[in-house]
């Protein structure tokens, strides 16, 4: 069994704990949170340093606000632990480069970042179809990701730029951008508009409109990340030479985004006509992404093999594009 320590035992820390135990591969050895943990089935330690220094802990899960991710990841690697960290992977590409340096000096320890959306069943199906080449190359992509916020948002750390490092794009839109890179490859040309016209919190944007293009393939992508949607919305469209993949909804613990409805549209009969010959739908009613992700992390540890999804190099490529969006 892989003994795990969790730093940050709020919502995400508890989700990770359940997945660790469900995996049958790992177990939670201890947990720490700066707030009082009223009830926990696990051993609660008084400081994060005790998690890092515990000789029984093989892997550390960093489930903290953004500003603590980089120093804790580096400290855990230096302490000889494998590390799984929530997104974002720091506040900029420079942060990721520092974590990679610690990873490279860690004598083969595993570092993985939690880009959970890659592990959803609908996304896995989209990736499988794209990689098969059955629809030809990707021509363009469009993603919209929006949510509501209420008064509780303004009392939390996500509304503090010193703790969050950014607004809706770094908090949520980063998942959509990661899916663009995962499904469509790299994008080196970026234009973006970043605004906070409604909530007006300095350093915490409420909308980002970004246009991306790959100079290598010519593929383009359009992304809108927003917290003035006034409803929850997830929509991802990938259009290829001989068809399209259109995903609406995302299965989450809250259920706010609905089930995942993946439409697979084919125009392989006569693609030059530019119309769909047939269409099929797959509805995903359940979500096993949290468990799949933790199992992948443990598999990498056990086999001493590179992380397949959510590696530090994935994180670096992502944050380099993110830097361009914020630089606008």
Going from the first residue of the chain to its last (328 residues), give the mean pLDDT of each consecutive group of 10, the final group possibly shorter.
Answer: 97 97 98 92 96 98 98 98 97 98 97 97 98 96 94 90 97 98 96 94 96 97 96 97 96 92 85 72 95 98 97 98 93
Q: What is the pLDDT of residues 271-286, one digit of tens each?
A: 566 666 789 999 999 9
* pLDDT recorded at residue 152: 85
> The pTM is what?
0.95
Question: Could you list the residue range(s) of the whole structural domain that residue 19 is in?
Answer: 2-114+291-310
Q: What is the pLDDT of residue 221?
A: 98
Query: Strand 207-213 relative to strand 220-226: parallel, antiparallel, unpaired?
Result: antiparallel
CATH classification of the domain holding 66 = 3.40.50.720
Distance CA 46, CA 51 (A): 9
pLDDT for residue 52: 98
> Rounded CA gap, 20 and 57, in Å?
13
Is residue 326 domain-resident?
A: no
The number of domains in the chain is 2
Which residue, 310, 49, 89, is CA-closest to 60? 49
| Residue 74 and residue 80 in contact, taking contact as beta carbons nearer than 8 Å | no
Contacts with 33 (C-beta within 8 Å, 6 or more apart), sequence order: 7, 8, 9, 10, 13
Residues 201, 79 within the same domain: no
- Whether 62 is in a domain gets the answer yes
Cis amide prior to 312 (ω within 30 degrees): no
């Amino acid at each position: 069994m892989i003994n795990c320590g969790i730093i940050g035992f709020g919502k995400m820390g508890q989700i990770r704990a359940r997945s660790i135990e469900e995996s049958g591969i790992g177990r939670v050895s201890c947990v720490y949170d700066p707030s009082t943990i009223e009830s926990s089935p696990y051993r609660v330690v008084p400081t994060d340093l005790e998690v890092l220094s515990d000789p029984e802990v093989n892997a550390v899960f960093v489930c903290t606000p953004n500003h603590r991710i980089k120093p804790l990841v580096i400290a855990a690697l230096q302490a000889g632990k494998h590390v799984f960290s929530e997104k974002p992977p720091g506040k900029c590409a420079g942060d990721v480069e520092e974590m990679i340096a610690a990873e490279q000096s860690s004598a083969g320890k595993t570092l993985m970042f939690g880009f959970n959306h890659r592990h959803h069943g609908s996304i896995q199906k989209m990736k499988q179809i794209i990689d098969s080449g059955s629809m030809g190359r990707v021509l363009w992509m469009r993603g919209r990701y929006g949510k509501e916020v209420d008064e509780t948002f303004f009392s939390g750390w996500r509304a503090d730029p010193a703790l969050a490092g950014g607004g809706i794009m770094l908090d949520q839109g980063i998942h959509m951008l990661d899916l663009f890179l995962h499904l469509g490859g790299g994008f080196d040309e970026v234009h973006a508009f970043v605004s906070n016209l409604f909530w007006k919190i300095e350093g915490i944007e409420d909308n980002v409109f970004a246009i991306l293009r790959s100079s290598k393939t010519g593929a383009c992508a359009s992304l809108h990340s927003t917290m003035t949607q006034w409803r929850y919305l997830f929509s991802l469209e990938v259009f290829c030479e001989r068809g399209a993949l259109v995903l609406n909804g995302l299965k989450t613990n809250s259920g706010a985004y609905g089930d995942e409805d993946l439409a697979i549209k084919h125009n392989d009969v006569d693609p030059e006509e530019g119309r769909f010959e047939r269409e099929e739908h797959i509805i995903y009613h359940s979500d096993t992404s949290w468990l799949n992700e933790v199992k992948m992390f443990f598999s990498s540890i056990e086999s001493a093999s590179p992380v397949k999804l959510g590696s530090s190099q994935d994180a670096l490529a992502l944050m380099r594009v993110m830097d361009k969006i914020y630089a606008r």
